[in-house]
Amino acid sequence: MSLSSRASKLTTPDPSFSILTNPYHPTLNPSGHINLAVAENTLMHASLQSHLHSHLHVPTSAFTYGDFFKRSRSAIATFLTKHLHAVSPIKPEHVAVVSGCTAAVEHISWALADPGDLILLGRPYYGAFPWDATIRTGAKLAYVDFGDEDPLGDTCVKKYEDRILEAKANGENVTALLLCHPHNPLGRCYPLHVLIDLLKLCNKHKLHLISDEIYALSVFENTVDAEPPLCHPPAPFHSVLSIDLTGLIDPAYVHVIWGMSKDFGANGLRLGAIISQHNIDLMTALFPLVLLTSVSSLTEHVLANILEDDAWVETYIKENQRKLSTYYKHITTWAKTNDIVYAPGVNAGFFIWADLGRTFRKHRKDEPEDLDQAVMDALLRHKVFLASGARFGSEKPGWFRIVFSHEREYLDEGLRRIVAAVTTPEPLEEARIDLRRGSITAEDL
């Protein structure tokens, strides 16, 4: 009642929240939902907890505003210079720290686009990008379709350029291209030559390139897919900061987002960073802006304790990557065993992109009107929650993202429920979750 017009559009509850707040527990809440929808990596939690507790002596200075994150900015700069193989050393003044990459995406969208300006985003995309980049900033997203071509392949550059030209023809202002690299939900890295072509494209059209590298260190060996159709072999990860930009793009246009959530399995700690090495104006503007989304000093303390512990981090990352490789093998074996087609060639992230719609249709005679919705309804009837392709802007119906980085027992219970859901020909029920609610378009707002 009497809210702003923009808030008034948000007064219908998102049904997925009632699912997220009712988590399964084998004894405490066995009727709760198994959640393989949210990209969380629990595989290293015991190790993280152990390091946290053994180094946690919070100084009283943590209770003050402190020194504007000097320690964490230094720690992040040193850590990422090494692990992203930055061409030139990242300095603390190149780093803005905020309470999570959600905030980082919002800040950079606000700073690079005015209301109505377009940011390019290829399909499928991380389902929260539209919300984070547009809901409070007024920026719009220009989605890019790839049809049957690889969204990370050579031809993607042409598709992005077509979309830029279309926007210009409509009199629209395109200001940036937002990449998730490694890609979420596809779990692959942009090949170096494609990245270079994208950088050139951005330079040509004077667009910022925002490379969200939140999965930068969650890369692993794919020991499974002998003949990936899309990339052969999987492209290794190259940070855009590792590329010598000379002759490619004005470096002031290149920005990276990184955080603790994925590579350290710590979504709950809320630490994200914007790294920009050659744009003093942007970093000056961000300095006071980030106070709106300040990171907790406790998180800063834990983060710095970790990132400054070089030897421990090396071991941690390697062990995480080894586990991810093993779990990828496990889930792809499950998929093949259960006649579930998935997009192969994955070597990053902790999810597979699977065509559950195909399996679902094989097990029933009637044809659902809305395949995504029908599969989601079936999944929820079986108390398992996945990220739907619909919310991720999938161009093909029936595809879902399945997160595999969970303890085996929990994961296997989820996988069992998925199989039950897509192979049990129950009557179609009415929609219980609006899959596309997360896909905010500029028109909605």
By CB under 8 A, residue 295 contacts its own copies: yes
Cβ distance to its own copies smaller for residue 281 or 319: 281
Q: How far apart are CA 224 and CA 325, in angstroms?
A: 9
Shortest Cβ distance from residue 107 to its own copies (Å)?
9
By CB under 8 A, residue 3 contacts its own copies: yes
Q: If you search the block for the tokens 């960073």, which residue do you land on? A: 273
Q: Is 292 helix (H, G, I), strand (E, B) or coil?
A: helix
Shortest Cβ distance from residue 169 to its own copies (Å)?
21
Binding residues for its own copies, rule CB under 8 A, total: 87
Shortest Cβ distance from residue 97 to its own copies (Å)?
12
184, two tokens: 């979420």
Q: How far apart are CA 358 and CA 310, in angstroms?
A: 46
Specify whether the CB–CB gap between 278 and 254 falls below 8 A: yes
Site for its own copies in 131-190 (CB under 8 A): 131-132, 135-137, 175
By CB under 8 A, residue 429 contacts its own copies: no
By CB under 8 A, residue 313 contacts its own copies: no
**Separation of first and last alpha carbons in the chain:** 18
Q: Which helix H or strand E contains 435, and what residues bound it?
A: none
By CB under 8 A, residue 118 contacts its own copies: no
Q: How far apart are CA 214 and CA 208, in angstroms?
A: 18
By CB under 8 A, residue 31 contacts its own copies: no
Query: CB burial class (10 A; 0-12, 13-18, 19+) of residue 119?
Result: buried
By CB under 8 A, residue 97 contacts its own copies: no
Site for its own copies in 61-80 (CB under 8 A): 61-68, 70
By CB under 8 A, residue 29 contacts its own copies: no
Specify whether the CB–CB gap between 66 and 72 falls below 8 A: no
Pairing of strands 272-275, 95-98: antiparallel
Shortest Cβ distance from residue 146 to its own copies (Å)?
27
By CB under 8 A, residue 13 contacts its own copies: yes
Shortest Cβ distance from residue 182 to its own copies (Å)?
20
Shortest Cβ distance from residue 174 to its own copies (Å)?
12
Which one of 54, 57, 226, 365 is in contact with its own copies (CB under 8 A)?
57
Amino acid making up residue 228? P
Q: Which helix H or strand E contains 127, and what residues bound it?
A: none
Shortest Cβ distance from residue 273 to its own copies (Å)?
15
Shortest Cβ distance from residue 36 to its own copies (Å)?
13
Which one of 19, 34, 36, 48 is in contact with its own copies (CB under 8 A)?
48
Q: Is 387 helix (H, G, I), strand (E, B) or coil?
A: strand
By CB under 8 A, residue 292 contacts its own copies: yes
By CB under 8 A, residue 291 contacts its own copies: yes
By CB under 8 A, residue 373 contacts its own copies: no
Q: How far apart are CA 135 and CA 16, in angstroms?
A: 18
Which one of 42, 78, 325, 338 is in contact with its own copies (CB under 8 A)?
42
- Window of 128-136, 154-162, 224-232, 416-424 that interacts with its own copies by CB under 8 A: 128-136
By CB under 8 A, residue 323 contacts its own copies: no
Q: How far apart are CA 355 and CA 343, in angstroms?
A: 8
Q: Which helix H or strand E contains 180, and what residues bound it?
A: strand 174-180
427, two tokens: 């009557």
By CB under 8 A, residue 263 contacts its own copies: no
- Window of 110-118, 157-165, 215-223, 397-405 that interacts with its own copies by CB under 8 A: 110-118
- Cα–Cα distance list, 245 to 86, 208, 254, 374 (Å): 11, 13, 9, 47
By CB under 8 A, residue 87 contacts its own copies: no
By CB under 8 A, residue 266 contacts its own copies: yes
308, two tokens: 């400054």
By CB under 8 A, residue 203 contacts its own copies: no
By CB under 8 A, residue 89 contacts its own copies: no
Nearest 5°: CA angle at 122, between 388 and 82? 100
By CB under 8 A, residue 110 contacts its own copies: yes
> Of 69, 65, 113, 132, which is closest to residue 95 (Cα–Cα)?
69
